[in-house]
Amino acid sequence: MNYISVSEAARRWGLSERSVRNYCAAGRIEGAFLTGKTWNIPETAQKPQRLNRHKDAPEDLLSRLRAEKKTGLHGGIYHRIQIDLTYNSNHIEGSRLTHDQTRYIFETNTIGSSDALRVDDIVETANHFKCIDMIIDNAANAPSESFIKQLHAVLKNGTSDSRLDWFAVGEYKKVPNEVGGKETTLPELVSTEMKKLLSDYNYVNEKSFDDLLDFHYRFETIHPFQDGNGRVGRLLLFKECLRNHIVPFIITDELKMFYYRGLQNWKTEHGYLRDTCLTAQDEFKRVLDYFRVPYDE
């Protein structure tokens, strides 16, 4: 019998390598065995079905989010996503607020801290909560330039950046910028490149996981705004997961450097970003299991 590696099985099944190793360790891949620290998986092995005991629940994630948002339910998955997505996405971009401080702002609309805090961190946290509501409300709609600009306008509203004449809140950048030491699309070309990106992306009817990641990579490469591109890009990625019935995910601080590596290498190697996002997706599936929200594998 021929055997394949964990990485090959992960590629074939669209899983993270961590998930494949977990399946092997749990005995859910028939015929898999260890040689030292290396799993050998039969070439004919089938992808295990995830044990989601709540498949008969009456609603999907988007329906649950909309219902909990409408009723103002505390302690549900809408509450959890607002805090976790806002904290992690802002933290990646340098926010100094803790997870508890982020939660306190969401739950009480007050700061509740004696520490010296940056005003922009507080304003952008409150704004990010509104942005999440926007992506939930507009999840069924294809992304457009006007919606993307509106997201940016809401995110940066009332910040110190918004008081700068050259900083275009809710509009494409006016001054060239870099990301990770790499050049991005020049201001005079951004509108053209964004139209092409959206045209290419919206042309595809049945979108795969890689289609969403490619959209995210191209958006971050264009870097259409003066600041806030990472947060707007991750909001759009979460929204598009909801729209295309793909389990969404949140990039945490632990995955940040792997996420950056994946974006930097996407043109030549899709595996880095894909595996990072699938790892984050596995973690989000555990949240869905806890809140008894059904999902497709």
Dihedral pair phi/psi, residue 44, rounded to 5°:
-90, 0
* Whether residue 248 is found in the same domain as residue 142: yes
Angle between helices 229-243 and 145-156 (to 10 degrees): 130
Tens-place pLDDT, residues 177-188: 999 889 999 999
- Which pLDDT score is estimated for 52? 52
* Whether residue 154 is found in the same domain as residue 194: yes
Tens-place pLDDT, residues 61-95: 999 999 999 999 999 999 999 999 999 999 999 99
The more confident residue out of 52 and 98 is 98
* Whether residue 178 is found in the same domain as residue 127: yes
Task: State yes or no: pLDDT of 12 exceeds 90.
Answer: no
Dihedral pair phi/psi, residue 26, rounded to 5°:
-85, 0
Q: Which residues contact 206 (CB under 8 A, 6 or more apart)?
A: none
State both tokens at 86: 């806002």
- Which pLDDT score is estimated for 25? 86
- Which pLDDT score is estimated for 51? 53
Q: Where are the beta strands (DSSP E) in the chain?
A: 3-4, 33-35, 38-42, 178-179, 182-183
* Whether residue 29 is found in the same domain as residue 163: no
- Which pLDDT score is estimated for 297? 66
Helix (H, G, I), strand (E, B) or coil at 52: coil
Nearest-angstrom CA–CA distance, 40 and 153 = 51
Mean pLDDT, range 103-121, rounded to an integer = 83
- Which pLDDT score is estimated for 109? 84
Q: Is residue 297 part of a domain?
A: no
Mean pLDDT, range 155-172, rounded to an integer = 94
Identity of the amino acid at 33: F
State both tokens at 207: 């979108």
* Whether residue 105 is found in the same domain as residue 215: yes
Buried b (16+ CB within 10 A) or exposed e, 6-26: beebbbebebbbebbbebbee
Note the pTM of the prediction, 2 decimals. Answer: 0.83
The pLDDT confidence band at residue 257, using thresholds 50, 70 and 90, is very high
Average pLDDT for the chain: 92
* Whether residue 107 is found in the same domain as residue 225: yes
* Whether residue 11 is found in the same domain as residue 76: no
Of residues 139, 154, 148, 120, the one with CA closest to residue 81: 139
Beta-ladder partners of 182? 179
- Which pLDDT score is estimated for 53? 46
18-22, 82-86, 90-94, 141-145: which has the minimum mean pLDDT? Answer: 18-22
The tally of domains found in the chain comes to: 2
Q: Is residue 296 part of a domain?
A: no
- Which pLDDT score is estimated for 50? 59
Mean pLDDT, range 1-15, rounded to an integer = 88
* Whether residue 41 is found in the same domain as residue 125: no
Nearest-angstrom CA–CA distance, 188 and 185 = 8
* Whether residue 111 is found in the same domain as residue 242: yes
- Which pLDDT score is estimated for 23? 86
* Whether residue 118 is found in the same domain as residue 260: yes
Of residues 157, 153, 137, the one with CA closest to residue 145: 153
Tens-place pLDDT, residues 200-244: 999 999 999 999 999 999 999 999 999 999 999 999 999 999 999
Beta-ladder partners of 40? 33
Helix (H, G, I), strand (E, B) or coil at 95: coil
* 294 contacts 60 by C-beta, under 8 angstroms: yes
Task: State yes or no: pLDDT of 57 exceeds 50.
Answer: no
| Domain coverage including residue 188 | 55-290
* Whether residue 209 is found in the same domain as residue 184: yes
User: What length is written for the chain?
Assistant: 297
Mean pLDDT, range 30-39, rounded to an integer = 90
* Whether residue 70 is found in the same domain as residue 110: yes
